[in-house]
Amino acid sequence: QQQVKQSPQSLIVQKGGIPIINCAYENTAFDYFPWYQQFPGKGPALLIAIRPDVSEKKEGRFTISFNKSAKQFSLHIMDSQPGDSATYFCAASSAGGTSYGKLTFGQGTILTVHP
């Protein structure tokens, strides 16, 4: 019930394409859904996050779509660029308890954007 399932494992698109990465969860107590971006040799960095009271959040070229009834959320990257090539992780957590950073991560998606 604590798992977050992420797909696909890898994704290759051409520059300008719109890669979509999907995540699904079971734990209905989750109420915070961040996406992290990780470049080779670097630690993950927060990209964008959403709460379940909204169905969509957009920051620049990155959009999260959230479907509470289906317990699914996805990341869309508009007008993708080669510099977006990285590993993307979805995650989820609940606000309860004292462990604020206790994120449950998906397995990650390796995105490659060809020029």
Partner 1 sequence: ETGVTQTPRHLVMGMTNKKSLKCEQHLGHNAMYWYKQSAKKPLELMFVYNFKEQTENNSVPSRFSPECPNSSHLFLHLHTLQPEDSALYLCASSQEQVNSPLHFGNGTRLTVT
Supply 42's token pair. Answer: 């670097």
* Beta bridge mates, 92: 104
| 1 lines the binding site for partner 1 (CB under 8 A) | no
Which of 34, 73, 86, 111 forms a contact with partner 1 (CB under 8 A)?
A: 34
Piece of 13-21, 55-63, 71-79, 99-107 that binds partner 1 (CB under 8 A): 99-107
Which of 1, 43, 70, 115 forms a contact with partner 1 (CB under 8 A)?
A: 43
Which of 13, 20, 24, 49 forms a contact with partner 1 (CB under 8 A)?
A: 49
How far is the C-alpha of 64 from the C-alpha of 21, rounded, in Å? Answer: 10
Is the bond into 82 cis (omega within 30 degrees of 0)?
A: no
